[in-house]
Each structure stands twice: as C-alpha cells, then as structure tokens.
C-alpha cells in the first residue's frame, strides 16, 4: 500500500534537482531537447487564424537563423477546437502535432455531453492530441467515480488521438490530492483499453490558475507514473504547464525526469513543456552556447 505523501521530503527532493551541475556539452544537448519538447500554445479570446498560422511557423522554425546542427521543431501547437483545421493545414508535413484543449477548458464545468462533443469535433478537425481538464469540483467533493467515468468517456471520444489529462494542481490543495488525482487519471484512462507508450499524459495545469507547474507537484506526478510503469510496464507521459519561463528551470525539470523515470522519458513522446514563453529563453541560451554572446530579444519572434 502506498505511503501518504510527505510534503517536506518531496519539497526537499525537488529542490535537490536544482543543485545538479550540468557540463557544457550536456547543457547544449539539454537545451535542444527542451526546445523539442515544447507545446507552443495560444488560448486567448482574441485568437485568430493569422495568429495561429504565425505560431505554427515558429513551431516548425523556432529561429530564423542558420545554426549547426539545425534546431529541432517544437513538439506541438495547442489551440482551441475552432482553430484546429487552421493549425493542421499550416503544420502539414512538418511532424509537429496539433493539440487542442477540449472538455470545457479551462473550468471543466460544462455538461458532459458538451465536453464530449467538444472532443469529437476537435478530433474530426484533425487534432492529434486532446488536452482535457478534469472536473475539480467533483474531485474535491469526493466524487471519484464521476471523475474517473468522465476521463474514460473522453478517452473513448478521442479515438486514435492521444489524451493529456489536466489535473489543475493549483486547485487540488495538497500534494496528497495531486497523487490521488494522478493515480485516478491514469487508471481511468487505462480502464477503456490498453495504453501504448505515450498515448496518455498527465498534465499539471491549464496555465490559467496560479500556482501552475511547480517542481514538487511535478515530482509527485512523476512518481505516480513511475509506480504505474513498475506495475504494468506502460509508459505514461508527463506535461508540466505554466510557470516555467527560463531555460535554467527547464533543465532542472529534465534532471528530475532523468533521475525519477530514466532516459526513456527524455523525448517529446513522453515529456512535454506547456510553456510558450520558455521558447525564446531557450533560444537565447542556445545562441549563448553557440556564439558566446546572447542574441537580442528582438531577434526572436513572439511565441
């Protein structure tokens, strides 16, 4: 039986990952890896086809600069369901995935029929990945079966598209609740049928609630993924989202993933950053590593 979460120990261990020394060559590799794991996202009321096309261009070519070896594209572009078709056309043939927030993002409080239709329409439009939000009100009220059933129904509605389950950890109140929600989400998704590696992710946040991703929260979620892997051999993905703004922070997260889950998770099929503002700082650090000086902020387009 799992022991209750020791908050002090989790916070101490999470802090320890920020003290690792990273050599120059490893740092260069880590920065490029972090870039390849980013989900560029635009989720604003003023989103337009033009803005999405611009974001897709940046996703494919993060920096308009000749650099060797060439920079990787990011992992995905995440948009509202109504803009999935625009993103799909703009990213065609690039290898960059189209993700869409559905299920009444960001509250998750819409009627279930509306949330499921949201998913179905996004998938029909071409979404490769669906980022759903759980009903935190139901979870905090102790209605675990209701939350699990909704996750299961969303996974069925996804068809062949991958599912990322947003816990909105900033509203879950305790690390123990984060662990319970992580276990519930993984098992609810698995209840609908076998999971291949990377088909299901758990994700910290919508980015609309503070605090968003933190290292202690992410560590608890990584440990839930580790325990599920040790039990079943299935690799669940992880996505911290919101609040990760610097390349230095991203490298700390990668150290934590490596030491908690191992090298198998150090790729965009199993780990993502939901942090558009992170992109340009990673590019500035890559520039510094390559040339010895920082590029100006205006050298990069807005993420």
Catalytic residue at 203? yes
* DSSP sequence for 204-229: ---SSSSS---HHHHHHHHHHHHHHH
Nearest to 186 by CA among 225, 138, 239, 149: 225
Q: Is 131 an annotated catalytic residue?
A: yes
DSSP codes joined into one string, 215-276: HHHHHHHHHHHHHHHHHH----EEE-BSS--SHHHHHHHHHHHHHHH-GGG-STTTB-BB-T
List 58, 88, 164, 203, catalytic entry: 203
Rounded Cα distance between 62 and 3, Å, is 43
Selected catalytic residue, list 58, 88, 164, 239: 239
Nearest to 102 by CA among 83, 74, 76, 89: 83
Q: Which of 88, 131, 164, 281 is catalytic?
A: 131
Identify whether 239 is a catalytic site residue. Answer: yes
Catalytic residues: 131, 203, 239
């Amino acid at each position: 039986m799992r022991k209750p979460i020791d908050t002090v120990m989790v916070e101490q261990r999470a802090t320890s990952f920020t003290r690792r020394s990273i050599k120059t060559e490893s740092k260069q590799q880590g920065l490029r890896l972090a870039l390849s794991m980013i989900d560029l996202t635009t989720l604003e009321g003023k989103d337009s086809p033009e803005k999405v096309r611009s974001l897709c261009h940046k996703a494919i070519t993060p920096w308009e600069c000749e650099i060797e070896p060439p920079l990787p594209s990011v992992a995905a572009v995440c948009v509202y369901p109504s803009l999935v078709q625009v993103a799909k056309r703009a990213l065609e043939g690039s290898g960059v995935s189209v993700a869409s927030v559905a299920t009444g993002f960001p509250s998750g409080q819409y009627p279930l029929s509306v949330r499921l239709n949201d998913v179905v329409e996004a998938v029909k439009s071409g979404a490769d990945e669906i980022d759903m939000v759980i009903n935190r009100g139901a979870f905090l009220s102790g209605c675990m079966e209701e939350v699990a059933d909704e996750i299961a129904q969303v996974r069925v509605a996804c068809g062949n598209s991958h599912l990322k389950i947003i816990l909105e950890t900033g509203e879950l109140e305790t690390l123990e609740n984060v662990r319970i929600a992580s276990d519930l989400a993984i098992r609810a998704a698995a209840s609908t049928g076998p999971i291949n590696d990377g088909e299901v992710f758990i994700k910290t946040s919508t980015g609309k609630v503070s605090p968003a991703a933190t290292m202690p929260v992410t560590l608890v979620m990584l440990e839930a993924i580790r325990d599920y892997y040790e039990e079943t051999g299935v690799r669940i993905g992880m996505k911290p989202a919101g609040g990760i703004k610097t390349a230095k922070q991203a490298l700390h997260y990668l150290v934590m993933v490596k030491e908690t889950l191992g090298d198998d998770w150090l790729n965009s099929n199993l780990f993502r950053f939901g942090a558009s503002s992170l992109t340009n700082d990673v590019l500035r650090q890559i520039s510094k590593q390559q040339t010895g000086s920082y590029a100006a902020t205006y050298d990069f387009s807005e993420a």
